[in-house]
Amino acid sequence: MKYLGEHLLPGQLGHFFTILSLVASLVATVAFYRSTRVGLATEKQGWLRLARVAFLLETISVFAMFGILYYIISHHLFEYKYAYTHSDKSLQVEYLLSCFWEGQEGSFMLWSFWHCVLGWILIWKAKAWEGGVMTVVSFAQFTLATMLLGVYVFGVKIGSSPFVLLRNEFNWPILSRPDYLNLIKDGEGLNTLLQNYWMVIHPPILFLGFASTIVPFAYAIAGLLQKNHDWVKPSLPWASFSAAVLGTGIMMGAAWAYESLSFGGYWAWDPVENASLVPWLTLIAGLHTNLIYRSSGHSLRATYFFYIITFSLILYSTFLTRSGILGDTSVHAFVDLGMNTQLLLFLLVFLVPALSLFGMRYKGIPAIHKEENTYSREFWMFIGALVLFLSGMVIIAKTSTPVVNKLFGTKIAPPEDPEYAHNQIQVFVAIIIGLLAAVTQYFKYKDTPKAFFGKKIWVPTFIAVLISLGISFFGAVRFDKHGPGFLFAIHLAIFAAVYAVVANASYIWLGLKGKIKAAGASVAHVGFGMVLVGILISSAKKTVLSWNTTGVTPLSEEKAGERGNPAGNPRENLTLFKGVATDMGRYMVTYTRDTLNEKDRKRYFEIKFKAKEGNESFDLYPDVIKNNKGMEGFAANPAAKHYWYKDIFAYITSFQENTGEDTAKFVNRDIKVGDTLYYSNGLIVLNKVQVNPAEQQHKYKTGETALFLDISILSKAGSRYHAMPGMAIAGNNFRPITDTVHSQSLILSFNKVKDEKQGLLEIGIKESGAVTDLLTLKVYEFPMINVLWLGIVVMVLGFVMSILQRTKKSGPLRVA
């Protein structure tokens, strides 16, 4: 059957380049490996030339696949499953790239793309290590290429191709028709959570971090194969680069969560977040043991282990996030594509040979059997590396609960409060690492005179104690939710973090004599300390501002504890009626209007904040976008007002737009001054009758006589409201002037004077759900959160300084 309107050439080219990349990467792997096993220089160069040509073909293939898939997505070729399931015609141009990494196939392609880029830098710079290192990189490319095959071998599916046709993947009746494309009007679209600018830049940086961890791993494997341990010198800048990029990618993800997700923060110990963090921790551990070996000869074995385990953890995180095993515990995980066995093999094909080779070569790896001096830098650096490793193992153990349950048939339940389950342990890690980051640089390698150490360290210690005491006593850090013990640990961690900042900033002058170019490590540690300070203070002092003062809420208490419910406790969500200024603690808050942006299909709500004291006022524009891909409701995107010392962070938790017809009717009631009437939610009290009151003159015209009723409304929740319904009289003409209490959905009218002598009046009372639009808003205050973001910038700057320093001045190894 000939199908009308299909564009088959892009898919055919895509499949061709997928096969070419598979074959080319296999040839490159064999050729690079052979170049390390031959003795003659001419033969070695021959194998290297072949390997480079094969790697060039591999690179061309990956780039071509990338370009073809972009063409398919951007041209809305919905005959292809990938374009149909990950994009639609209304998607903004800037989000087309995000369609790549929504699916597993595109993210594997992105990973392979970065391997190509890094591979050519290694071919240019690795020199004698080129063959060994590129053997590992090329083999990784081969394994990634298998992930994109999408072919069946003896009934077993290998990989998942992004170039498959929709009609070959689904059994929908319309797909059997030759004109099925005329019936497919649009694609399913990009997940609403990914329609954010952070998701355009965060995944490429994160995957560059993932990809770059293979370089220290490859150097370590090459060293083991060749029994040559000089690889630690050229691997050091790469380890710093990988740590900087991976750390940046992780924190970009935190920034995305802060700006796009509605759990009220930037880190929730989500399993996918953890799976990215743990390799970074072990990589930092390996970076420090690498430095130890370079300067003292200790910890080479540990360096091998940490670099091997780092890349292995990247592969394990790939298995966790792509196997579907975290589907019930993470909002970030990919769906299961039926590739679990292949994903597990992807991990094992690197982990098992690497650990086996490490075990076989272990005794031959140089080691100094004399224990390090406790007054030496290398001793405390190793302790720090060990703490980071153990911290990572605790995190990954908790994260792997679904894997344990599946393997052993257990039913270990996740903790009710996952944040506290991690924080109660990691707060002590923060204390230890903060203290070590502060004092370790003041030690010298091998041995440090006690008098020298004490003379250098006492000034930053004294300053840090003063600053941290000031924060503890005057900073109002009173996070007692988990008891006084945890609160005390938070204050200790604040001291350790401040100590890390002050001590490392001081070391630039006390230890390095102001040599900024040599201060990369100190700057990175200052940044790390700032990150800890920002995390501790912004989390411990995170405050809910939006306690509901109206007594009205559309939210349900029953859903408060449901996973993924952005509202949480209904009492923490302020109900706002359109156009009504509402009390929210320090602010009066007004929901002024909302607009639908046709371009990004988001509904923006204008929320006006006015401080009760002073002149502070600002507007926030949180938005919602309708969920897609079979999910009901709307996804909320927060908005924030940034100050140098805090953020005011707000998001919509529900909204009601009353577009229906108002079918409610007025109920007429008699009333006198001082009388009380009941309505469904409280009391109505007539205080007095006023004639032509000055404050209401904008409601009546010149020549009219106006009578207004001064009425108080008391709701069941205890809230008081004021209403002034009236009537305007001109001769024999009568005009009613109604008044509305929006937050009570209450409309009042003054109908007539029934008995002037007795003071008997008639008012109309109407309770209508169609009176106004309303929303519920959740607002947090994050004190000092910008210290966290600034700390990330400073830390990355420190890494960059270290990379430049070690690249330009990589002297010989100083081993004992």
- Tokens 């003041």 correspond to 442
Of 599 and 34, more confident: 34
Q: If you average pLDDT over each of 113-117, 375-379, 596-600, 807-811, which comes out highest?
A: 113-117
| Residue 77, token pair as written in the block | 């070729």
Gap between the Cα atoms of 681 and 392, Å rounded? 54
Instruction: Give the pair of three-digit tokens for residue 700.
Output: 């009546």
Structure confidence at residue 271 (pLDDT): 85
The residue that leads in pLDDT, 328 or 140, is 140
Gap between the Cα atoms of 589 and 583, Å rounded: 6
Q: What is the pLDDT at residue 481?
A: 80
In this structure, the dihedral spanned by the alpha carbons of residues 504, 510, 511 and 514, taken in order and rounded to 10 degrees, is 90
Residues paired with residue 44 on neighbouring β-strands, in sequence order: none
CA atoms within 13 A on the CB side of 814: 9
Residue 262 is predicted with a pLDDT of: 59
| pLDDT at residue 811 greater than cutoff 70 | no
Q: Averaged over 730-754, what is the pLDDT?
A: 87
- The radius of gyration of the chain's CA atoms, rounded to the nearest angstrom, is 33
pLDDT at 83: 95
Q: Measure the CA–CA gap between 187 and 282, rounded to whole angstroms.
A: 41
Confidence of residue 634 (pLDDT cuts 50, 70, 90): confident
The candidate with the shortest Cα–Cα distance to 211, out of 285, 314, 124, 127, is 314
Average pLDDT score over residue span 312-326 = 87
Q: Which of 252-266, 331-345, 775-789 has the lowest mean pLDDT?
A: 331-345
Maximum mean pLDDT: which of 329-333, 406-410, 540-544, 795-799: 795-799
Query: H-type helices in 213-299, by residue range?
Result: 214-226, 232-260, 271-296
Q: Among residues 349, 334, 333, 310, which one has the least CA distance to residue 144? A: 349
Q: What is the rounded average pLDDT of the residues 407-427?
A: 86
pLDDT at 814 over 50: no
Q: With beta carbons less than 8 A apart as the criterion, state whether 498 and 533 touch.
A: yes
Residue position matching structure tokens 């290398």 = 378
Q: What is the pLDDT of residue 560?
A: 59
Confidence of residue 293 (pLDDT cuts 50, 70, 90): very high
- Burial-class residue 613 by CB neighbours within 10 Å (0-12, 13-18, 19+): exposed
Gap between the Cα atoms of 86 and 107, Å rounded:
13
> Could you tell me if 811 and 556 are in contact, meaning their C-beta atoms sit under 8 angstroms apart?
no
Are 775 and 580 contacting, i.e. CB atoms less than 8 angstroms apart? no
CB neighbours of residue 511 within 10 Å: 17
Sign of the CA dihedral with 54 first, then 55, 61, and 65 last: positive
Query: CB of 280 within 8 A of CB of 250?
Result: yes
Terminal CA-CA length for the chain? 75
Contact assessment for residue 321 and residue 407, using Cβ atoms and an 8 Å cutoff: no
User: What H or E segment, with its residue span, contains residue 179?
Assistant: none
- Percent of the chain residues topping a pLDDT of 90: 64
CA distance 329 to 402: 8
Residue 780 clears pLDDT 50, i.e. is over it: yes
- Select from 42, 249, 54, 79 the least CA-distant residue to 163: 79
Mean pLDDT of 200-211: 94
Helix, strand or coil, per DSSP, at residue 221? helix
Q: Which of 506-510, 612-616, 659-663 has the lowest mean pLDDT?
A: 659-663
Q: Give the pLDDT mean for 148-177.
A: 91
How does residue 577 score in pLDDT terms, banded at 50, 70 and 90? confident
Residues 247 and 280 sit within 8 Å (Cβ to Cβ): yes
Q: Which residues pair with 593 in a beta bridge?
A: 606
Residue 551 buriedness (CB in 10 A; 0-12 / 13-18 / 19+): middle
Buried b vs exposed e over 418-433: b needs ≥16 C-beta within 10 Å? beeebbeebbbbbbbb
Residue 65's pLDDT band (cuts 50, 70, 90)? very high
Categorize the per-residue pLDDT at 618 as very low, low, confident or very high, splitting at 50, 70 and 90. very high
Task: Tell me what the pLDDT averaged over the chain comes to.
Answer: 90
Separation of alpha carbons 549 and 741, rounded Å: 15
Percent of the chain's residues with pLDDT above 70: 95
Q: Give me the pLDDT at residue 31, please.
A: 97
Q: How far apart are CA 547 and CA 411, in angstroms?
A: 38
- The tokens describing 242, both together, are 């990988």
Contact (Cβ atoms closer than 8 angstroms) between residue 777 and residue 648:
no
Which of helix, strand or coil describes residue 213? coil
> Which are the contacts of 204, defined by CB distance < 8 A and separation ≥ 6?
110
For 455-509, strand residue ranges (E) read none
Q: Give the pLDDT of residue 108.
A: 95
Lowest mean pLDDT among 175-184, 235-244, 506-515, 682-691: 506-515
Query: How many CB atoms within 10 Å of residue 169?
Result: 15
Which H/E stretch holds residue 750?
strand 746-755
Helix axes of 484-510 and 418-439: crossing angle, nearest 10 degrees: 30
Bigger pLDDT: 600 vs 419: 419
Instruction: Quote the pLDDT of residue 506.
Output: 94
Calpha distance 579→591 (Å, rounded): 6
Q: With beta carbons less than 8 A apart as the criterion, state whether 317 and 279 touch.
A: yes
Inform me whether the pLDDT recorded for 810 exceeds 60.
no
- Which residues, 6 or more positions from 563, have their beta carbon under 8 angstroms from its beta carbon? none
Cα distances (angstroms) measured from residue 309 to each of 133, 208, 304, 354, 641? 17, 18, 9, 9, 41
Cβ pair 280, 398 in contact under 8 A: no
Domain ranges (residues) in the chain? 1-195, 209-414, 427-541, 570-651, 667-772
Angle formed by the axes of helices 520-540 and 418-439, nearest 10°: 150
- Give the model's pLDDT for residue 813: 47
Dihedral angle at the C-alpha atoms of 308, 314, 319, 324, nearest 10 degrees?
160
Write out pLDDT tens, residues 464-489.
999 999 998 888 887 878 889 999 99
Predicted local confidence at residue 284, as pLDDT: 97
Q: What is the pLDDT of residue 131?
A: 96
